[in-house]
């Protein structure tokens, strides 16, 4: 391969990776916004004022407690907690995506470019472009599930 062709490929790859990262972070940001919104809706207290800068793990714990203290509505609570648990399962990958750079290199054995995010603090954790896209798809589904599961619980508090 000549040098200009390699450079063009890396530029295209950079665009693809940047778009994937942006979508992943933007999608999870929507989930985080929902956690702020429903902390207020599931509580009679103005908790966002008290815990506004709490990390997502802390907000997840709080939302679980707020859901669990609702009287009745066992099926709705179980559904909401199941969705919240799925969100919680994505936090580690979200942090890896958000706080670690893409690494790009040539695998001479495979004669191919390799792109992965390596978690700096967990050296064995790696995410490739397919993993990032799968993360985004899961997070997008969870947004819809949260928007379905949480409103009935919040509404019950206002009745």
Residues 6+ apart with CB under 8 A from 147: 34
What pLDDT digit, counting tens, does each position of 69-126 carry? 999 999 999 999 999 999 999 999 999 999 888 877 777 887 777 778 877 777 678 8
Distance between CA 35 and CA 63 in Å, rounded?
7
C-alpha distance from residue 107 to each of 8, 110, 114 (Å): 18, 5, 6
3-state secondary structure of 31: helix
Residues 6+ apart with CB under 8 A from 124: none
Q: What does the pLDDT read at residue 6?
A: 55
């Amino acid at each position: 391969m000549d040098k200009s062709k390699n450079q063009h490929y890396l530029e295209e790859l950079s665009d693809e990776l940047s778009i994937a990262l942006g979508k992943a972070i933007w999608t999870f940001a929507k989930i985080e916004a929902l956690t702020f919104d429903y902390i207020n809706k599931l509580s009679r207290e103005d908790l966002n004022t008290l815990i506004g800068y709490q990390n997502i793990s802390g907000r997840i714990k709080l939302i679980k407690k707020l859901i669990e203290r609702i009287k009745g509505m066992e099926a709705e609570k179980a559904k909401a907690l199941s969705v919240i648990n799925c969100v919680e399962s994505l936090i580690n990958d979200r942090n890896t995506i958000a706080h670690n750079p893409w690494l790009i290199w040539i695998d001479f054995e495979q004669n191919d470019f390799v792109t992965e995010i390596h978690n700096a603090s967990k050296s064995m954790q790696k995410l490739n472009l397919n993993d990032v896209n799968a993360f985004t798809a899961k997070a997008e589904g969870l947004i819809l599930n949260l928007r379905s599961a949480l409103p009935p619980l919040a509404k019950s508090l206002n009745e």
